[in-house]
Amino acid sequence: ITCLVMYLFAEFDDAANLLAANPDATTISIDEPVEIPKNQHSRLQEPGREEDDELLGTDDSDKTELLAGQKKSAPFWTFEYYQTFFDVDTYQVLDRIKGSVFPVPGKNFVRLYIRSNPDLYGPFWICATLVFTIAVSGNLSNFFIHLGKPTYHYVPEFRKVSIAATTIYAYAWLVPLALWGFLMWRNSKVMNIVSYSFLEIVCVYGYSLFIYIPTAILWIIPQKVVRWVLVVFSLCLSGSVLVMTFWPAVRDDNRRIAVATVATILLLHALLAVGCLAYFFDAPELDIPAPIIPAHNGTTVITKSH
Amino acid sequence: FPGLADVSISQDIPVEGEITVPVGSHSPDEDYSTLDEPVKDTIMRDLKAVGKKFVHVMYPRKSSALLRDWDLWGPLVLCVSLALMLQGGSADSKDDGGPQFAEVFVIIWFGAVVITLNSKLLGGTISFFQSLCVLGYCVLPLTVAMLVCRLVLLVGAGTVSFIIRLIVVGAMFGWSTLASTAFLADSQPPNRKALVVYPIFLFYFVISWMILTFTPQ
């Protein structure tokens, strides 16, 4: 008889675990009638959410929230916890990259592509590629610009790689952190329908940097007009993805704060592009031959006129 | 023990074993401890293992020797020699020159660690040090390319020499990437192979770039 009782207790334990993980699951049990009204309540809420379904991309956001909670159940000091952030296949990464470059009007990047599976693979490797692309393209572009000059001596400018790395990784991690903190703070004041987790914001920012990789390669072309057209073009594409992602999160707020937030997001994005262009790529089309001034310590310093 | 009176061993279960009694002391030939062997034997054994792995890298075919008996001597030797050969680049100021020794060292080892972590996080079955071993050994073609580049630059530094260096570095870059992919690709889940191969490509590309842009004093 003790064995039977132990077995029943084990069953109850299992059921309790399942319930803890899935409080919205329909359970038929005699001693818990409170479950059923909760289900009805969530069902009543759904018609009100339909207008946001297009932007949300799915009409069972409850379930996706729960699934997100279920997935990352390993404690954070185990390796398996971090493996959940790399649970993507090749085609998923490619889809997300495509989604960041070609914004679909009315669709939200996070809900459409990420769907509660934010990955760290994309942001990390896109940033790494961008760092080296900017450094290499800047070096190549400077080489071609100064090629004909007799006094020019090619240098690899390797120090700029570390500067590029610091800047880009800081942008890809600190700006999402600040934005997430800000959104959490506003969320406590104003009830927002849409709220993003920190990793989802990191994901969006990481993938939105992808457009700068081909842009940096094309910046090798030593024409000012071409470079600025590229800046504006890439800014439009990735900026629109960012705006469409974050507008639903702030639009219920005070109108001025919402507009200021979105404007800041765009401004920082533009600042990154312009800053990289100005620092890593020398200005082309020097009309006046640069005079050579011997500096006091004996090395020759070439002054450039912009 | 009255309780055990009715315990019986079924006829189906064979009972077998060995009873040995150690007789005398072990003769020196059967001793598996390597403590007493001459130092030359120890060094030659490790050198032979490293040399065998070099051969495996130059003629990559799927063999488990590289993976099973990993060692980090080869990668260390290659990394140090590559970093040393990348010294002596010209610079107007300290800031604009080529990579310093520490920078090359850090890029190679940190890059290899990051790629290994990446492949393990994506669900790869290879062990940490095995992956480091493969990535380190596959730097060998690029070290050879660096040697060739330095020799070519001794002769001249014009356009022809640049084209020769470009071709050599490009070929060795392709060889490195293919060799390491041949060893590492099987341990990855099939729908994520490209996700694992791309960082390896980026890693060897950066090293090739450092080699190609090396300009002597």
Alpha helices in chain B (DSSP H): 39-58, 65-68, 73-85, 101-121, 128-137, 140-155, 159-184, 193-212
B209 has a chain A CB within 8 A of its CB: yes
Decide if A172 is inside a domain. Answer: yes
> pLDDT value at position A152?
76
Mean pLDDT (chain B, rounded): 82
Q: Find the residue in B nearest to A302 (Cα).
A: B92
List of E strands, chain A = 292-294, 300-302
Hey, what are B214's tokens?
């090396």
At residue A37, the pLDDT reads 40
Residues 6 or more apart whose Cβ sits within 8 Å of residue A85:
A118, A119, A120, A121, A199, B121
Residue with tokens 């022809």: B160
Rounded CA separation A145/A177 (Å): 39
Torsion of CA B130, B132, B134, B138, to 10 degrees: -170
- Tell me, what's the pLDDT at B146? 93
State residue B78's pLDDT score: 92
Q: Is residue A173 part of a domain?
A: yes
Residue A279, CA distances (Å) to A135, A160, A271, B93, B170 in order: 10, 9, 12, 18, 29
Model's pTM, two decimal places? 0.73
Can you tell me whether residue A293 is helix, strand or coil?
A: strand
The answer to whether A82 faces chain B, any CB pair under 8 Å, is yes
Is A20 inside a domain boundary? no
Residue A170 lies in a domain: yes
Binary contact (B194, A299; C-beta < 8 A): no
Best to test chain A binding among B95, B115, B146, B192 (most A CBs inside 10 Å): B192
3-state SS assignment for residue A253: coil
Place B92 in a pLDDT band, splitting at 50, 70 and 90: low
pLDDT of residue A49: 42
A228 in B contact zone (CB under 8 Å) = no
Residue A10 placed within a domain: no
pLDDT at B189: 82
Measured between its terminal Cα atoms, the distance across chain A in Å is 92
Q: For chain A, how many helices (H) and strands (E)?
A: 13, 2
Strand partners, A301: A293
The shortest CB-CB distance from B192 to any of A82, A89, A159 is to A89
**Distance, CA of A137 to chain centre:** 23
In the prediction, which pLDDT does B90 show?
Answer: 58
Q: In the prediction, which pLDDT does A7 show? A: 58
Residue B89, SS3? strand
Instruction: Inspect the interface and report whether the beta carbons of A156 and B121 lie closer than 8 Å.
Output: no
Domain assignment present for residue A155? The answer is yes
Q: Which residue has the higher pLDDT, B25 or A261?
A: A261
pLDDT tens sequence for chain A (306 residues) = 666 666 555 555 554 455 444 554 554 545 444 444 444 443 443 444 434 444 444 444 444 444 444 455 778 888 888 888 888 888 888 888 888 888 887 777 777 777 778 888 999 999 999 999 999 999 888 888 887 777 777 777 788 888 889 999 999 999 999 999 988 888 888 777 677 888 888 998 999 999 999 999 999 988 889 999 999 999 998 888 888 888 888 877 788 888 888 999 999 999 999 999 988 888 776 544 545 555 555 444 444 444
Residue A212 belongs to a domain: yes
**Is B97 an interface residue toward A (CB < 8 Å)?**
yes
Structure tokens at A206: 């990481």
Amino acid code (one letter) for A296: H
| pLDDT attached to residue A85 | 84
> Best of A155, A162, A169 to disrupt the B interface by mutation (most B CBs within 10 Å)?
A155
- Whether the CB of A297 is below 8 Å from some CB of chain B: the reply is no
Interacting residues of A126 by C-beta distance below 8 A, sequence separation 6+:
A97, A206, A207, A209, A210, A213
d(CA B101, CA B111): 15
Comparing A21 with B184, the larger pLDDT belongs to: B184
The CA-atom distances, in angstroms, between B214 and each of B78, B196, B207 are 17, 29, 11
Using alpha carbons, list the distances in angstroms from residue A304 to A148, A157, A286, A291, B203: 15, 18, 8, 8, 35
Alpha carbon distances (Å) from A149 to A146, A287, A304: 6, 13, 13
Q: CB-based contact (8 Å) between B125 and chain A?
A: no
Q: Please check whether residue B103 touches A, CB under 8 A.
A: yes
β-bridge pairing A300-302 and A292-294: antiparallel
Task: Identify the closest residue of chain B to A140 by CA–CA distance.
Answer: B213
pLDDT band at B187 (very low <50, low <70, confident <90, very high): confident
Cβ pair B98:A88 closer than 8 A: no
- Per-residue pLDDT, A79: 82
CB A264 within 8 A of CB A299: no
Instruction: Return all residues near A301 (Cβ < 8 A) that are at least 6 apart.
Output: A292, A293, A294, A295
pLDDT in tens, B135-158: 999 999 999 999 999 999 888 878
In a domain, A54, yes or no: no
The domain of A168 spans 82-281
HSE of A218, CA atoms in CB hemisphere, 13 A: 15
Which among B77, B71, B68 has a CA at the least distance from the CA of B183?
Answer: B68
Q: Which value does ipTM take for this structure?
A: 0.77
Average pLDDT over residues B88-102: 67
What is the domain count for chain A?
1
Chain B residues touching A159 at Cβ < 8 A: 95-97
